[in-house]
Structure 1
């Protein structure tokens, strides 16, 4: 299924959000609010949600519109990769999440790995920076435009543990990857990360 509707609605929302940030004209404010309403109606129609619900979500976004930043910790041990099981859908993913305001990406990934898996880690290198919205990644549609940063991490302490968001943490061989939470990570990304593990001389991927 084509996701052009999502691309169009995201662009309309970005125009509306940025316009509302800088304009002082009451006429332009009204126009940008109308553009946001159109974006909400497009998203609601194809996502099978109510326009009011989507508009309220979009209305919470303020400031110049830029992509959100998602970080993922890539932890290898004995040729296996660390995954955590999401309580939300019961599927597995690399530990990670949104970068908080005032927090660097490296701080965020160390925090997320610890919170979701119980392991303390240190950063080795950046393996990849991907545009989640790029068609080649095959993520399910999301209302946000997101950049995903994958950091290779090394365990420095801790033990596997559950959290409020995760029901467990475990290491898996490349041929034994369980069902993945596709909103967070997809099989092609896991395969590429294993390739990076086997080729530490590679430069980071992008886009």
Structure 2
């Protein structure tokens, strides 16, 4: 579960961003700037992010703040799941990334698999919609919804990419070190359960 200090920091940031967007009062504008800085100070104190990174995250978006959407693809072959090795931390995740404007969730899943692994897939089923804060991920300055889409392997060949250095299929009892900011072992266990029992409903939260 998400730590209270992290939930408070993100709520303060959300209030500040909305205030900076809608206020017409110069004094209130300055107060919202102070609130945004307070949230950044909390995150710098309790996470691995440095102040420059936090401020860039907090100032690159405007308007009413909404959760970010992380779209991931679950691809199985011979009872093994496809994982890609992230260059960012040298650890493994299922393919995926932020939702892209102009693409449906299914299109993003298919695109990310090809870009990150070289494999071609077809999107078949929405497996899960998860709230990042309800799972054992490291603290994040964003409030994130994770959509995981089950995809069928139809072609292609293994290849690395700008963001990934390797890809392979793994059994549940032989998982490599995971990039837990992106995927957790409990989530992969859930995906194996859904794969083996396709009549189970979509998991949410």
SS at match of 1:133: helix
Once residues 103 and 144 of structure 1 are traced to their aligned partners in structure 2, the CA distance between those partners, rounded to angstroms, is 21
Can you give the 5+ residue segments of structure 2 that lack an aligned partner in the other structure? none
Give how far 1:61 is off: 2.0
Give how far 1:52 is off: 5.1
Once residues 168 and 87 of structure 2 are traced to their aligned partners in structure 1, the CA distance between those partners, rounded to angstroms, is 14
Pair 1:5 & 2:5 matched: yes
Q: Which residue of 2 aligns with 1:85?
A: 85
Q: Which residue of 1 aligns with 2:166?
A: 168
Q: Which residue of 2 aligns with 1:29?
A: 29
Can you give the 5+ residue segments of structure 1 that lack an aligned partner in the other structure? none
Give how far 1:50 is off: 4.8
Once residues 122 and 50 of structure 2 are traced to their aligned partners in structure 1, the CA distance between those partners, rounded to angstroms, is 43
User: Does the C-alpha gap of structure 1 residues 10 and 176 become closer, same or farther in structure 2, counting only changes over 3 Å?
Assistant: same
Once residues 132 and 47 of structure 1 are traced to their aligned partners in structure 2, the CA distance between those partners, rounded to angstroms, is 16
1:128-147 to structure 2, matched below 5 A, reads 128-134=128-134, 137-147=135-145
User: Does the C-alpha gap of structure 1 residues 95 and 36 become closer, same or farther in structure 2, counting only changes over 3 Å?
Assistant: same
Pair 1:186 & 2:184 matched: yes
Pair 1:76 & 2:71 matched: no
Give how far 1:176 is off: 1.0
TM-score by length of 1: 0.94
TM-score by length of 2: 0.95
Which of structure 1's runs of 4+ aligned residues deviate more than 2 A?
47-57
Once residues 99 and 165 of structure 1 are traced to their aligned partners in structure 2, the CA distance between those partners, rounded to angstroms, is 16
Once residues 2 and 200 of structure 1 are traced to their aligned partners in structure 2, the CA distance between those partners, rounded to angstroms, is 30
Q: Is the 8 A contact 2:2 2:133 kept in 1?
A: no
